[in-house]
Amino acid sequence: MKIITRNQLKFAGVLILLSVAYQYGLNIIHNYNELRFVLAFQFFYFGSIFFFVWLFGRKENVSISIVDLSFKYHIITYAICNSIAELWFHYNLQSNCENISYVHLGGLYWGLGLLVHFFLFNIFSKNMELGFE
């Protein structure tokens, strides 16, 4: 069993580019005090992530469980998005009104959601092995 597939690697590359563009765009919005665009910009970013998960996920081998796929894409997204955000602050690229605590809290809450996803992943995986789809 492969740990990561070719499509997941492609998704990871696209997500890195999207996340860097997101952080850069967020800086521009903050620096010009155009905070009214933040929410629309975030919806576009998250919508783009969902689109690329769908795009690359539907190309996966049909023998792979959808539960397994969704969890792997979730972990990849979590790791990349939080890493890019942390690196953005590490290299002091953030705007004046951004605070590292928001990144840490977002990562914590998202991590809790990922933990719930992990438990659901295990429950559904066991049910699928037993034939309870």
- State the Cα–Cα distance between residues 101 and 84, nearest whole angstrom: 15
pLDDT computed for residue 123 by the predictor: 81
Name the pLDDT band for 32 (thresholds 50, 70, 90): confident
- State the Cα–Cα distance between residues 97 and 27, nearest whole angstrom: 9
Residue 100 scores a pLDDT above 80 = yes
Q: What is the mean pLDDT of residues 78-102?
A: 92
Tell me, what amino acid is at 5? T
Domain limits of the chain? Answer: 6-130
More confident residue, 12 or 65: 12
By 3-state DSSP, what share of the chain in percent is helix, strand and coil, each rounded to 5? 80, 0, 20
Q: Write out pLDDT tens, residues 48-87.
A: 999 999 999 888 876 566 667 788 899 999 999 999 999 9
